[in-house]
Chains A and B, each alone.
Chain A
Amino acid sequence: NAGVTQTPKFRILKIGQSMTLQCAQDMNHNYMYWYRQDPGMGLKLIYYSVGAGITDKGEVPNGYNVSRSTTEDFPLRLELAAPSQTSVYFCASSYSQGSGGYTFGSGTRLTVV
């Protein structure tokens, strides 16, 4: 059981570079989410998706884009990386939005220098 798989685990970007954080789940969950977690802070929702072809903004979407072409995959795109995007990024999936049973990936630690 892979659950939610995120790649890469670590990445250093230079200011202005772009990258895609990959997220895949094998639980056939319709709902998927991207969060960021800054040191000592809580999780902030970036984007979420309620199913293939449907995405919506969360609390902090600026500087990011997402797509959901399949149920399994939910990549997060960073365009023109900025130091403020230095954070740990977690992808999660769930059977329903309000169920509370979110499964998280192991995270991507991103540093922008």
Chain B
Amino acid sequence: RKEVEQDPGPFNVPEGATVAFNCTYSNSASQSFFWYRQDCRKEPKLLMSVYSSGNEDGRFTAQLNRASQYISLLIRDSKLSDSATYLCVVNPMNRDDKIIFGKGTRLHILP
């Protein structure tokens, strides 16, 4: 099992729809989780952290399921500007303690 795995997509979703995607991780000892957003030909930017109890930031909801070892990102009322690649990031709590980036899920919002 890969350390961090994401469905590469692309997800093609009409504007206004709700879309969700998951990310699985292999190390059950992982402690912290994040979602980054990367626009085409741009650098990744932190979108939100993922807390154990789940958290919202406007139209975005992040959730963690430790039992099944996955995190999810839900986007409600999607906008054209949400089109991007969403990177799942996990802190595996290994010896080096460096975070691991997933390869990303591409999202296209269709007008």
Contact = CB atoms under 8 A, between A and B. Distances in A.
Contact of B44 (A41, A45, A98, A104): A104
Interface residues of A, number: 19
B103 A97 contact: no
How many B residues are at the interface, by size bracket? 20 to 34
Given A48-B98, A97-B97, A98-B91, A104 B103 contact: no
Nearest to A90: B43
A93 B49 CA distance: 17
Contacts of A45: 98
A100 B32 CA distance: 8
DSSP majority for the A interface? loop
Interface string B87-104: 101010100111101111
A100 B43 contact: no
Contacts of A40: 8
Nearest to A3: B43
12 contacts: A33-B98, A42-B104, A45-B98, A97-B97, A97-B98, A98-B97, A98-B98, A100-B49, A100-B91, A100-B99, A105-B43, A106-B42
